[in-house]
Chain A
Amino acid sequence: MKLDAKIPSGPIGDKWDKARFELKLVNPANKRHHKLIIVGSGLAGASAAASLAELGYDVDCFCFQDSPRRAHSIAAQGGINAAKNYQNDGDSVYRLFYDTVKGGDYRSREANVYRLAQVSVNIIDQCVAQGVPFAREYGGVLANRSFGGAQVSRTFYARGQTGQQLLLGAYSALNRQIAQGKVKMHPRTEMLDLVVVDGHARGIITRDLITGEIRPWAADAVLLATGGYGNVFYLSTNAKNCNVTATYRAYKRGAGFANPCFTQIHPTCIPVSGDYQSKLTLMSESLRNDGRVWVPRNKADVNKPPNDIPPDDRYYYLEERYPSFGNLVPRDVASRAAKKVCDDGYGVSKTGEAVYLDFATAIERDGKAAIEDRYGNLFEMYERITGENPYKTPMRIYPAVHYTMGGLWVDYNLMSTIPGLHVLGEANFSDHGANRLGASALMQGLADGYFVIPYTIGNYIATHYHGEVSTKHPAFARAEAEVRERQRKLLEIGSKSGSKRKSVDYFHRKLGKIMWEYCGMARNAAGLEQALAQIPELREQFWDHAFVPGGADELNPWLEKAGRIADFLEFAELMCHDALYRDESCGGHFREEHQTEEGEAVRRDDEFAHGAVWEYTGVGTKPALHKEPLEFENVKLTTRSYK
């Protein structure tokens, strides 16, 4: 596996201009002859499908949801960053770039991040033109807020539903192309394999989730915009159907998987209430702008009603430990601090795994109406789920898996190690390093789809076109046969397992427990070895006892789930290998062996300032490691400090 990041030479500020000039173009009249497959219809997929169809390409877009509008981007709450500097508070492209590289704990690629900051300004323009109703000031201009530890106000937002509004914008642009016949949309259609012909990605195998039909699709290039793998933990803030299958199948076909251990644990989620818990709900990070995080100072008070605990007996641990950033420290820092106070026995709620997020000070200062205006819908959501009123009693929160920074390795042009296979949005690894800053996921998804891939895909087509390929090519038949065989096996387990049968969710929950315990907020070598021993055992039990009802030729949600969980059961091992290999703490990856006396993360730049890119070598065998050294020409590596 050769890793050539194809970073343009020259000063950081000129790289993207230089690349755009050097990237080859496809003649406008020829674009319609080039077929592109896009898998996923979230921010990255929908924006790419719309933009590429506008350019004239012949696009097929696939999603497993019943409508592209339901992709999980819809659930993003807080906002989207852009270096507009509308607030005149010192922001710039360079500052957004710098903050993102630093926030990522120096494990991202400078050139990609700079480009992201550059195109961020165009994204806001595009979205406003589509009719996205961002928050505005009375004078009619756009409003901004500071978000997730940023010291400038560069976040654009649409109440607590920014992801929804941005996705509906991208969906509307996609709809326009569908109406014009330039995008053929295939909802309720799941990609089950990638087809590689002569070393190039030339198609996919899909299952129609209504009829069960398995069929091949050929194209000139394949774009994956299939999101992250947070559901490997079973409980996460991801939608229930989010999965790793598309990217993992591509990995098995030869695409390098980079930094899979980089997962983000979001500090403000509603805590687990019982064993039946099916998912966790995020409470937007924006709440930390006004909410104060605390636990009782005395262990004796953990079961007391919070309003009965006097101010002096409350430990505002973020404000005390990090005086300059206080409650707004980055996500990884806030999450670990919550874990620490709970591990030390100060956690509240019946599980002991929760801390308070208190709005009393803000309500007293700004009035209830102002707080309601800012967070009304979030407070309502909290009340619906917990039955408690956050205007009167502090919210209870705890960290939960939220986003995955790792993903398929891509070069500067968003192409994976398989020529022709491009990867966009959360599915790739490129921009967030070891920790993503708040309001940057929406920015990256739309940057990749609207403003990067339209330029870079042309270069691939112009320089690599090998002529039309048909689904008659034997590589398609081979991949299709493998998909069918796997499906047959999944349906067969139930008939053999008899009274020992278990639902597929049973195995998913077990896997989640292993991953949360050993590969969650804090990791160590011994624990990871444990996980690496337990995962193959669980995988074996799955293939012996997982019961999938029904047949292959109908809507069968359990067959869909079984396939995804089977992939998670292999992928989890890859994650643990990576976490074990990365013998340092950085961003969301905290190795207990590497911390200061105060419990802060210790990076090892001499050994680990690289992307760890893994190559598939077979199920249950250790993948082969490749490294992409990260060169920092602009940002000086320092210890992140939010004190």
Chain B
Amino acid sequence: MKLKNKDLLGLENLDKKEIQLIMDTAGPFKEIFTRSIKKVPALRGRTVVLLFYEPSTRTKNSFELAAKRLSADTLNVPVSTSSVVKGESLIDTVKTIEAMKADFVIIRHGMAGAAEIVSRAIKSSVINAGDGAHEHPTQGLLDLFTIREKKGKIKGLKVTIIGDILHSRVARSNIWGLKKMGAEVRVCAPATLIPKEIETMGVEVFYNLNKALKDTDVIYTLRIQLERQKEHLLPSLREYTEFYGVTNERLKYAKEDCLVMHPGPMNRGVEIFGEVADGKRSVILDQVTNGIAIRMAVLYLLAGNKQMNNRD
């Protein structure tokens, strides 16, 4: 079985079978991390270019390690010192990268749809590492994988996503993925951080956290960006924390064996408290480990795609 497209742009474009294939492939990759030589030759000779227009350490490091553990060569394009600051357009930048015979372009950009535009301009395989508030597919996949690993299934679980849904590509990718895999998804935030018509994605909206947490199997906390207060979307961070911060006390409203997840980086004491982040229900560090396995699976599966191998 293969993935249909040469690119991974979002979970909206993947079907359930493809999501399952990626998760099933990621499982065996985790075993490689336990070896003394954490590297396999599957992508030897392939070139992976990391093009990040927004700051990122976690996702970029994770992709870079994933590529290296598959024996691919990686090239970081530091946008702040590259020709981008001289005014080069996005398309020109990626066409230049393609002309250097890159097999994969992993792109993060502040504009929704940037990865898709790039994917149409070049024949290299494009992986979206976050485009504006649109999607962050590998994050969504690693979250699904972590839930399935810990709970043994996704179908029928109640997942509550808490925080800045409005600006969150992580929330969008998770909602697409969770709904496709048959989970029940709730979102919970102050009304200013809930996008209009989010219900059309098949989620239930809550403004009261205690109510949202009832019978929840998975609590997914999102990072609250400190700038949101300046945009007048929040009266104060303290007030947000008071109503939406996840504490041990709050966990009592959810199921006893619920998981707590966070895509990182965390604002401890704002959206999540240390007692929860470091507590026994937290799988936040599992998410990090699983992220590399998922990204290896995506790179490996895309490398086997026909369009990728018949480019010239």
Q: Do A and B come from one complex?
A: no
